[in-house]
């Protein structure tokens, strides 16, 4: 979404810089800075997805150089890559990584703070490995945080560690996970979920969101925000947000119901031109049909009207800007195509049950000293009373 490119003044909200006193990062950062490095182990395997592990690892590894201060000489995390047998492991992309074996971990990492199991096509071999399942069962009780990215949940489920738990896995495999492991409950469409000491997330990119949440738990929101800015991601992409954005969901729906890829391309064009004239006549022209024919064809293909789709995409864009910028609400309304502030306010009330200001207030609720979600919650902006989740927008 090129809104920031069109409006350079839409900068992310100021984050704490490396020169910020450690005391301002919160008690968690002070405590971690005084401790020995916490060992984070990423469990990989042949045919695993490289980004599942590399994304979170880059977040943890960036702490010393981005936050600076005492972390420069005393990194808070010790990062280890492991695999069942150790040695070189080939990812799906063909890139090989060097790993420690589970046996070596017994010596090199007698105490593991966080274990993160990645996903990928090769996870089936991990599921079937009694050696791996036994190791997971033996070590999990001493691990502070047990995590998985994508289909890494299948390995944890095979070891019996997810029985009676709620988890998030890649949206494409949620049904399969529940069918094969009936004692496991999948929370569909959420990005990640924290259930006691268990942290699970959806696809590869969600691994970065998960890692930022783990850093926030350890070092506080200012530290996580500084890292999010460095990696140019949205820090407050709430865990309950759907894995597919409204624009991506619209394109996916179009391709499922209409073999004509022009409809998917139209949705991408709409998302890139939200502040343009997007009346049905303009959309029909872009698509190459008469307005009347286009309106009927669009409803038949997507089950929704063009006007409704445009409003949904504008709402999603407005939500993102309310979360990540400090610009006036009036300017945001103009940027995303609502034109007048009152028009955007009516759309928010109708779809989200709150005003843009109310949404921004709720989105900015996390402050210093506010704890991470309690067991079973799915985000830092839990908003049950307001019902604000982009999942509703992506339906």
pLDDT tens-digit series, residues 103-130: 999 999 999 999 999 999 999 999 999 9
Distance CA 176, CA 231 (A): 33
Mean pLDDT over each residue of the chain, to the nearest integer: 80
Instruction: Please give the share of the chain, as a percent, with pLDDT higher than 90.
Output: 54
CB of 368 within 8 A of CB of 28? no
pLDDT confidence tier of residue 132, bands split at 50, 70 and 90: very high
- Asked if pLDDT for residue 296 goes beyond 50, the answer is yes
pLDDT confidence tier of residue 184, bands split at 50, 70 and 90: very high
CB of 142 within 8 A of CB of 111? yes
pLDDT of residue 30: 64
Place of tokens 């696809």: 203
At residue 210's C-alpha, the angle toward residues 208 and 138, to 5°, is 120
Going 365 to 369 to 372 to 373, the CA torsion angle's sign is negative
The two tokens of residue 6 are 């069109």
- Asked if pLDDT for residue 182 goes beyond 90, the answer is yes
Distance CA 154, CA 330 (A): 47
- Asked if pLDDT for residue 100 goes beyond 60, the answer is yes
pLDDT confidence tier of residue 223, bands split at 50, 70 and 90: confident
Out of 33-37, 45-49, 109-113, pick the least confident.
33-37
| C-alpha pair distances (Å), 145 with each of 111, 197, 214 | 12, 5, 9
pLDDT confidence tier of residue 365, bands split at 50, 70 and 90: low
Pick 224 or 89 by higher pLDDT: 89
- Asked if pLDDT for residue 239 goes beyond 70, the answer is no
Q: What is the CATH number of domain 246-393?
A: 1.10.10.60
At residue 109's C-alpha, the angle toward residues 105 and 113, to 5°, is 120
Helix (H) or strand (E) holding 196: none
Out of 6-10, 186-190, 296-300, pick the least confident.
6-10
The structural domains of the chain, with segments of one domain joined by +, span 3-230, 246-393
Helix (H) or strand (E) holding 116: strand 114-117
pLDDT of residue 188: 83
pLDDT of residue 382: 29
pLDDT confidence tier of residue 9, bands split at 50, 70 and 90: very low
Q: Which residues pair with 312 in a beta bridge?
A: none
The two tokens of residue 364 are 């900015």
Distance CA 250, CA 268 (A): 9
- Asked if pLDDT for residue 312 goes beyond 60, the answer is yes
pLDDT confidence tier of residue 17, bands split at 50, 70 and 90: very low
303's CB contacts (< 8 A; 6+ apart) are 253, 257
Q: What is the mean pLDDT of residues 244-248?
A: 48
Strands 38-43 and 87-90: unpaired
- Asked if pLDDT for residue 26 goes beyond 60, the answer is no
327's CB contacts (< 8 A; 6+ apart) are 7, 9, 10, 321, 335
User: 369-375: long-range contacts (C-beta < 8 A, 24 or more apart)?
Assistant: 369/26, 369/27, 370/221, 372/194, 372/213, 372/216, 372/217, 373/194, 373/239, 375/194, 375/195, 375/196
Architecture (CATH level 2) of domain 3-230: 3-Layer(aba) Sandwich (3.40)
Backbone angles phi, psi at 194, to 5 degrees: -110, 115
- Asked if pLDDT for residue 387 goes beyond 60, the answer is no
Strands 198-201 and 192-195: antiparallel
Among 174-188, 268-282, 352-366, the range of highest mean pLDDT: 174-188
pLDDT confidence tier of residue 154, bands split at 50, 70 and 90: very high
Distance CA 320, CA 2 (A): 12
The two tokens of residue 376 are 């079973």
pLDDT of residue 205: 84
Strands 38-43 and 77-83: parallel
- Asked if pLDDT for residue 367 goes beyond 90, the answer is no
pLDDT confidence tier of residue 237, bands split at 50, 70 and 90: low
pLDDT of residue 25: 58
Strands 185-186 and 166-167: parallel
The two tokens of residue 184 are 């496991």
The SS3 assignment for 166 reads strand
Burial of 164 (0-12, 13-18, 19+ CB in 10 A): exposed
Q: Cβ–Cβ contacts within 10 Å for residue 18, how many? A: 13
Pick 217 or 2 by higher pLDDT: 217
Q: Cβ–Cβ contacts within 10 Å for residue 366, how many? A: 19
């Amino acid at each position: 979404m090129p809104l920031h490119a069109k409006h350079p003044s839409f900068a992310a909200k100021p984050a704490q810089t490396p020169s910020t006193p450690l005391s301002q990062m919160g008690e968690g950062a002070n405590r971690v800075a005084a401790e020995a490095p916490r060992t984070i182990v990423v469990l990989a395997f042949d045919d695993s997805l490289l980004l599942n592990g590399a994304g979170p690892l880059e977040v943890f590894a960036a702490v010393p150089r981005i936050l600076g201060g005492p972390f420069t000489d005393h990194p808070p995390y010790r990062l280890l890559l492991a695999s069942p047998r150790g040695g070189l492991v080939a990812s799906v992309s063909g890139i090989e990584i060097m790993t420690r074996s589970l046996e070596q971990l017994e010596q090199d990492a007698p105490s593991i703070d966080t274990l993160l199991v990645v996903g990928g096509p090769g996870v089936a071999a991990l599921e079937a490995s009694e050696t791996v399942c036994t190791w997971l069962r033996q070590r999990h009780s001493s691990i502070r945080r047990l995590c998985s990215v994508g289909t890494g949940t299948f390995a944890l489920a095979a070891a019996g560690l997810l029985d009676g738990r709620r988890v998030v896995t890649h949206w494409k495999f949620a049904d399969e996970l529940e069918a094969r492991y009936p004692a496991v409950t999948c929370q569909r469409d959420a990005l990640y979920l924290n259930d006691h000491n268990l942290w699970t997330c959806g696809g590869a990119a969600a691994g970065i969101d998960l890692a930022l949440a783990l850093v926030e738990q350890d070092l506080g929101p200012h530290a996580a925000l500084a890292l999010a800015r460095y990696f140019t991601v949205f820090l407050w992409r709430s865990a309950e947000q759907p894995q597919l954005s409204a624009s991506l969901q619209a394109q996916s729906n179009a391709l499922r119901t209409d073999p004509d890829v022009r409809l998917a391309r139209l949705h991408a064009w709409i998302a890139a031109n939200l502040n343009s004239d997007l009346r049905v006549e303009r959309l029909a022209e872009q698509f190459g049909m008469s307005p009347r024919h286009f309106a009927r064809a669009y409803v038949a293909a997507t089950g929704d009207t063009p006007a409704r789709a445009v409003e949904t995409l504008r709402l999603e864009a407005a939500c993102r800007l309310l979360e990540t910028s400090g610009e006036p609400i009036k300017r945001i309304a103009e940027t995303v195509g609502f034109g007048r502030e009152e028009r955007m306010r009516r759309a928010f009330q109708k779809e989200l049950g709150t005003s843009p200001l109310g949404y921004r207030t709720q989105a900015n609720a996390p402050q210093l000293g506010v704890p991470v979600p309690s067991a079973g919650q799915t985000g830092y902006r839990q908003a049950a009373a307001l019902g604000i989740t982009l999942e509703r927008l992506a339906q």
